[in-house]
Structure formats: C-alpha cells, structure tokens
Structure 1
Amino acid sequence: MSMAREQTLWRRMRFTPVSDALRGQLTGRLDVDQLIAEAGLPAEPAQRVREVVYRTRLWRSEKIDVATELIAHFRDGLDDDVPVDELVAGFGDAKQAARLIRRAKKRNRPWPWHVARATSLAVCVLVGVYVVASILLLMGRPAVTVDYVARLNEPAIAVPEADRAWPIYREALLAGMRDLDFDAMRVQLERGQRGIRAGEPGWGEAVVFLEDHTDLLEQIRTAAAKPGLGLSIGHNWDFTGLDREALHGPIQGDPVSPEGFYEQLAQGSLIGVTLPNASIYS
C-alpha cells in the first residue's frame, strides 16, 4: 500500500501549516514521507533521502526543501541512466551530508531566530555561571586570611621611636588635663561643641589658659614637626592606661578584657577597633 493512500485525515492535519489551516485547507504538504513516496524513487535512493532528511533535525518546512532538492538530484541521475548503485555510492555518507545541510539551512534562517538563539545561549551561560558560583559558595567556608589591623598599623610601626609625635602629644595632653575642667569639656563635647570661637562664652578663660601653658604649646609645636604620629590603632584593651587617659580623659575602671566573645572579636577583626586619633582630636 502506497504512502499516498495512507495519508489519513489526522495525518493531513498534523502536517498542514498553520497558514494553510487558517484558510481552511488541510494540505498536509509538510509530510516528508508522503513527498518521498510520491516521487517514485527506487527503494535505495528513497531510503537515503529519508535518512538524510531526518538526520538534519530541521524544521518541517526546511525538511521539505531538503527532500525536494535530494529527490531532484536522484531524479536527474536516473534520467541520465546512471545505475542506482552508482547514484547511491556517489552520494556519500548520509550522516556527513545531513550535518552539512543542517549547518547551511540554519545559516539561512531569519535574523529574529539568530537573535533569539544568541539570547538563549547567553541566558544559559549566565544561569550556568550562577549555579556554579552558588555551589562553590555553599561548599566553601569563610576564612579571614588578612590581618587588617596589622596592615593599618604598618605605617605607624614604621616610624622610628625617636621620630614619633604621639609620646610628646600624650605628655602635653596629660599635663593640660591636670589644670582643665574636664567635666565641663565633656559636656561641651557631648553637645557637639568642639571648640570655642572669639566672642563666645568661655573665650576669655580659654585665652588665659593658653597664656598660662605656653610650655605645652611649645611641646605641641615640637610634636607637629615630627615625621609621623606613631600611634597604632586597636581595640580599647590594646592601649596603655596613659594612652586611654590622654585620648579619653580620666576613665574609671579597667577596659573590658578580651575574653569569650570579645576574644574572638579581637582576632583580626575590625569590629570594635577604635580610631581615637582620627575621631577625637582631628
């Protein structure tokens, strides 16, 4: 029984383009098997055409074009009285022919398809990278390998002892605090008043204080001429008692010792690191 008589209503519906169906025509013109059967080729050429067409894995309309071209190729050979065996042998490998035909047909597809294909590939690559990165993130464990406190302190440590300004500043600060109403100054600091300008309340007392402590001003000028401050940053317990008193004023009690949670906090962490030289007297 021929393939032409086996094309049932369902088969015509299945292989009818949407454009034909919208016009009310069930043409079934995308049926490759039907096309090959109607060509009347011998069994071996017909099988070779069918094999190549299905190996291309193209769209149905493209398969019809390929089948039409191959049928014409074998028909021309038969019309020239070329033996069937010679025609099949001269055709070459079906797998290689299908690969070349598929490549050529895909290049001829419309540009929207190429844009959609490139976009799909880009999305797949992006999703793949995201999945790999997520797996690596879930499999990894956080590890702090850089001691940033030590790195920040390298410039201060590099200043020679004789060239450090901080010991001189500390001595001047401590000497000045002995004659200073520290409680009043703390109230001013808490109110956001970091200094007294001419004409403001307390300006006269400030002038008298400076005139009575010219030696401290000279110490500050000496410290300002030094190449570097030489004060290392750290947690509160890393500073000496004199450093804390010079930076913060008289402090009651000892600072919290690095035990338990604070001990873990101090291991190379920047959380809780104080920058007194950059925040109080800057």
Structure 2
Amino acid sequence: MTDDKNPRTRSWSDCWRLLNRTPISELLRKGLTGSLPADRKWHASITSLFSAKPADPEILLKNSGLTESVQQGILKIARSVGRSRRIQEKFTCDFLQALRAELKISPDQPLVDLPVELTERLSEAIPLRTLDRLQTPQISLVHTLPLELSKLIETVVRQTRLWNREKIDVARELLNHCEDGLAAGVLPEQILTDFGDPLNAARLIRRSKIRQRSRLWHVQHRMLQGIGFLLLFAFLVYLWLLVRFLTAVPTIKRDFIGEIDLRSKAIPEEKRAWPLYREALMKIREDLVMPILQTERDLLSIT
C-alpha cells in the first residue's frame, strides 16, 4: 500500500493524480500538493496545459457536491453561454469558484447545504446573456423571472452600451425591480406595459450612468471629443483642397508677358539701354573671352 505523502512510495498513477490536482502556483513553490478540489482540477492545474480534450461540465458539477437540481440549473446556464465544450468547462469552473467565494467555502470542501433561496434560484434559473460578457460570473444575476421579463432585461442591458460593471448594476437593479413587482402580485404583462419602450429606457439609463461617472472621465471624454472634431475638420479641409486641386482647370486671365512688352515699347528707342548693354557685352567678349580661347587653342596645339 502506497503513501501519498511519502514521495518514495508514490506510484506513477498517484503522481499523475496529484499533478492533476495541483495548482501551477503551488507546483513551483511546494511541489505536488493536490490541494485543488475535483471541480477545479482541469481548469487550474498544470495538466490543463497538455490536455487536448476539456473536461465535461457534468463531471465537474457531480464532483462539486451540489444537488441534482442545482447541477441541472448551472449546466443550463453553461450551455447558454456557448456551444464549445471548453467554453462551458471554463464557465462552470468560474461559476463554482464564484459560488465558493460568495458562500466563503474553501476549495477543498464540497458545496453542500446551500441556502434555500440560492438553491431554489439555481434550480429554476433562467440565464441572463449578461453572464457571457463577464470575466467572473455573478451569482446575483441568476434569476427565476418569466421569459418575457428576462428578454426585456437582456434588451435593456445590451442597448445601454455601458461598461461591464455598470451593466451588472443595471441588470441587478432591473432584476430587483421585476422581482419586487412579482412579489407584490403584479402580472408580468403589467410590468412590461408599465416599463415602456426598452430602447427609450436604455437611453435614459445610459445618460444617468454616464452622469454618475467621475469628473476626470468627463474631462478626458471632452478632450477626446475636441481632438476628434479637430482631426475631422482638418481631414475635411484637406479633402476639399485635394478635390479642388484634382478637378480644377487653370485659366490665365492676365497676360503678364504682354504687359512687360507694353512697358518696354513705351520707352523711346533713344532711351532704351539694350544697345548699350549689347555693346558692352561684345566688348567684354573681345577683351576677355577671346584671349582665353586663344590661349586654350595654343595649349592644345602644343600638346
């Protein structure tokens, strides 16, 4: 019989099992600890780096210790997130981790004896599409509202186009509003009628949430808007000049050469300086240029 705590007596299967349940962070510091529970081993252990096939979410839920009804509810939410087995497996691991963190249950303990309210919510849950866009699943967004109210909340949250944490707050507020109305005996159809246009509500919620952001964000937002307008204006001016340059046809409306000739012809011939310039140039040619040319010819004849 082997002892898991003694490295000398471990078999290959025991080492592989411990490696499968050892977090990567603990492997480098403490060695094979096997501290991960069964519902997280495929997500956080080093064997996930070499595993080509992701774990089945059903197996992860069965190893977590949850009841059958709660397992089916979480599995329904995981399947709504995506069709890929790896996406479902990652969502299930993150959801179980968030559930342990909310209930303050250590990773080595099974998820048993959940609160009755949470058990009922998870057993009859209708998944919100908001869960798809969150890095960590929110347990409070799993609800039991009617389908039409769920679609209403999804539409409003999607149309707000806010940050993720702001969408979480909006979804939670709308869920509480709908749950309070149902608890007061109001019919879902009446809640939909009183709610009004979802797009208009999303627009108003977006304005309210943006006004609640920090002053620094508003300053940065206005600066970016100003820079964007300046760049757009410069681009439009450049585009207008380019189009004008490519499409314009040059038209000469003034004869500058003719005007110069007219001014020259207006001067009397006896007062024109060109004859004097010509005589001076000819004299320069005779006195300076011709001796130089003659010297070059003499040198060429000597060589």
TM-score, L = length of structure 2? 0.42
Larger Rg: 1
Q: Which structure carries more relative contact order (alpha carbon 8 Å, separation 6+)?
A: 1
Higher helix content, 1 or 2: 2
